[in-house]
Amino acid sequence: MGLLRPPGKVVGGKVLLDGQNLLDLSEDEWCEVRGSKVSMIFQEPMTSLNPLMRVGKQVAEAVKVHTDVNDEEATSQAERMLEAVGIPDARRRLRSYPHELSGGLRQRVMIAMAMALKPRLLIADEPTTALDITVQAQILRLMRNLASEDTSVLIISHDLGVIAQLCDYVYVMYAGRVVEQAPTAELFNHPAHPYTKGLLSAVTSLRDNSDTLATIPGNVPNLLYLPKGCSFSLRCACCEERCCKVVPELVEVGPSHVVRCLLEEGDSHA
């Protein structure tokens, strides 16, 4: 019989924002942080927006909860944010319900709500899902502008193109563990972990002449029953016997570049 921890429960460590451990906050203090200091863009907007409220009211509500403004000022700010994320005819769209909008427009409403108060930290889970390439570029530009105004942006994405355009530093995760971390240019130019190399080789390019796509064999393991040793060992072409027995530690392979791989451990101690 297995024992599952309660969902959403942090069982160790710290979560620091501006030097403050967020895990020490009361529920009332958390309510002050959510939306004002930390905002999040969820991957599926239809399950994140209230289907019974007009989208303008939802964006305005985020403003009113954390600032001392009246209804008219909050609505005006909501309209400006809808315009900022590229929603056409923003004033009319304020009165729309989520089901009346396309997936792309709903996603932009979520982004407008998250960025309305210019939070210290913006967490974005696949923020450009369902957006066409033109709107995607617009949203990425808006996020870059936010980052230049003292907002840190944490992107969770499988889109390496988005990561390359927006991120200064990258953490590559596999089966719940960080397997490699490095500045963006360093990671793309000198990947060290077999999983990172597999991800990059699977990206298509107009310069590629190959008729087939590169793939990573096998499947992601069940997180409740991870294999012994390296979690990637069952799919790794470079796997050795020791990889199936020992969980590798993060080792430095370059300036601000670390990787979790036994083969790199050997190289770093050579």
The architecture CATH gives domain 25-167? 3-Layer(aba) Sandwich (3.40)
Structure tokens that stand for 149 in this block:
């105004």
DSSP H or E segment with residue 71: helix 71-84
Whole-model pTM: value is: 0.82
Out of 27-31, 161-165, 206-210, 252-256, pick the least confident: 206-210
pLDDT (0 to 100) of residue 140? 83
Give the confidence band of 12 by pLDDT, cuts at 50, 70, 90. Answer: confident
Mean pLDDT, residues 40-46: 80
Closest CA to 100 of 134, 49, 44: 49
How many of the other CB atoms lie within 10 Å of CB of 124? 24
pLDDT (0 to 100) of residue 96? 96
Mean pLDDT, residues 63-88: 91
Closest CA to 43 of 159, 141, 142, 144: 159
- Residue of 60 and 14 predicted with greater confidence: 60
Domain boundaries, the chain: 25-167, 192-203+225-270
Mean pLDDT, residues 187-212: 83
pLDDT (0 to 100) of residue 270? 41
Q: Alpha-carbon distance 21 to 13, whole Å?
A: 10
